[in-house]
Amino acid sequence: MFKFVGIQFKKALIYSCILGGLWGTQGYAQTQSAIDPQVLEDLVAANKILAAEGILDGWGHVSVRNPKDPTHYFMARNLAAELVTAKDILEFDFNSVPVNGSKEALYTERFIHGEIYRAHPDVNAVVHTHAPPLIPFTVTNVALKPLYHRAAFVAQGIPLFDIADDFGMTDMLIRNSAHGQALAKSLGDHPAVLMRGHGATVVGPSLPRLIGRAVFLVKDATLQQQAMALGGPIKYLNPEEAKLIDAREGYGLARQWLAWKRQVGIAIAP
């Protein structure tokens, strides 16, 4: 079994003041007081769910496009996902600059988010993960394929981004807009892009769909490695099967989304 940081945690213990009280960042209330409380709650929930599922740990980050201004997006300040509360959420423009001029420490690789939102208007949520089960598929010629019906979207193709192809020797981080633009180009119209020796970036039309894709992408990678270890031929999803499953990708996700939220300590209205 492939295990990675965070997957052992008991999901129900990840509660840590979910909505965190009043805005704590200087200038934040003035700039962001109009945020839809549901968007805020869902983004905090997404951070905690991804931490509980082992998709995010002290690194990686998740964001959501601002539904009131599609040229902006929301993401936490530089903080481990498990610890994020409402007061940690900042609003960014496509250049990945905080719109309120916040001096808080920011995620180095925030340019992933800004450039994907700029290049792909249909994308409304983004997560960047370093989940270990994905890494072997970024450094070998073994393609990640759909064998788990919950990961049928993998049949759309998961391209591989190698920063060295465009920028030579780097520390492999997406440190600026040029790096982010290259990644967004590699992503194309796919649901995710692998990053050589680094991890992956997953996108979705909504936060629940994004969380589902991130969770099941990693599960599919784990299952494929387990199936390969058994030896013998593997019967992957037929392309037509994958297409039919994809047509109902969001089916049942609403109930799972509510369950995930409760598991990380967010009260669900009856």
Give catalytic residues, as residue numbers.
109
**Helix, strand, coil % over all residues of the chain, rounded to 5:** 45, 10, 45
- Token duo for residue 122: 């249909």
CA gap 65, 30 in Å, rounded: 20
In DSSP terms, 39 is beta-bridged to: none
Question: Across 196-252, where does the E strand assignment appear?
Answer: 199-204
The helix-helix angle for 253-263 and 37-52 (nearest 10°) equals 80
Half-sphere exposure of 144 (CA within 13 A, CB side): 32
Residues 6+ apart with CB under 8 A from 80: 51, 56, 57, 58
- What DSSP string describes 115-181? HHHHH-TT--EEEEE--GGGTHHHHSSPPP---SGGGGGGGG---EE-HHHHH-S--S---SHHHHH
Does residue 174 contact residue 13 with C-beta atoms inside 8 Å?
A: no
Residue from 35, 184, 203, 180 nearest 127 by CA: 203
